[in-house]
């Protein structure tokens, strides 16, 4: 088990906050993409190495952004894809999402 160093009541609050945030994201118009990890330590900021290290559904943030960006600038006009990735692990980071 992944120890986040918090008492159980704080972990519960963290999980409920994450679930609420994901519900809020899901109602955004489809033109908006997102890539949301469940890391509570801000690991995606800082060096570029984190940009392509963390994975959600076997896709890193760099590739997810490129998928979204290329779809939005698609000159054929068929930019109707929704690019959304969410790490749904509650407290324990999933897969490679460890800081």
User: Is 99 a domain residue?
Assistant: no
Q: How far apart are CA 19 and CA 40, in angstroms?
A: 14
* Residue 42 covered by a domain: yes
Query: Looking at residue 14, what is its pLDDT?
Result: 80
Give the domain range for residue 71. Answer: 8-86
97 domain-assigned? no
Label residue 90 by pLDDT band (50, 70, 90): low
pLDDT of residue 6: 73
Cα 14 from Cα 79, distance rounded (Å): 35
Counting residues of the chain whose pLDDT is more than 70, the rounded percentage is: 66
- Please report whether residue 47 resides in a domain: yes
In this structure, are residues 70 and 28 in contact, taking their beta carbons and an 8 Å threshold? no
* Number of domains the chain is built from: 1
pLDDT at residue number 95: 47
Evaluate whether residue 41 is within a structural domain: yes
Provide, rounded to the nearest whole percent, the portion of the chain with pLDDT above 90: 9
Which tens digits make up the pLDDT trace of 24-47?
A: 999 998 888 888 887 666 665 556
Residue 31 located in a structural domain: yes
In a domain, 1, yes or no: no
pLDDT at 97 over 50: no
Q: Is residue 3 part of a domain?
A: no
Span 55-64, pLDDT tens digits: 888 998 889 9
SS (H, E, C) 55-95: EECCEEHHHHHHHHHHHHCCCCCCCCCCCEEECCCCCCCCC
């Amino acid at each position: 088990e992944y120890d986040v160093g918090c008492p159980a009541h704080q972990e519960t609050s963290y999980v409920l906050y994450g679930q609420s945030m994901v519900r809020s994201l899901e109602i955004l118009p489809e033109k908006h993409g997102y890539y949301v990890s469940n890391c509570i330590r801000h690991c995606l900021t800082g060096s570029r190495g984190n940009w392509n290290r963390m994975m959600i559904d076997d896709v890193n943030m760099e590739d997810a952004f490129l998928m979204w960006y290329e779809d939005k600038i698609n000159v054929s006009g068929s930019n109707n894809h929704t690019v959304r990735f969410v790490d749904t692990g509650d407290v324990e980071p999933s897969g490679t999402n460890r800081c």
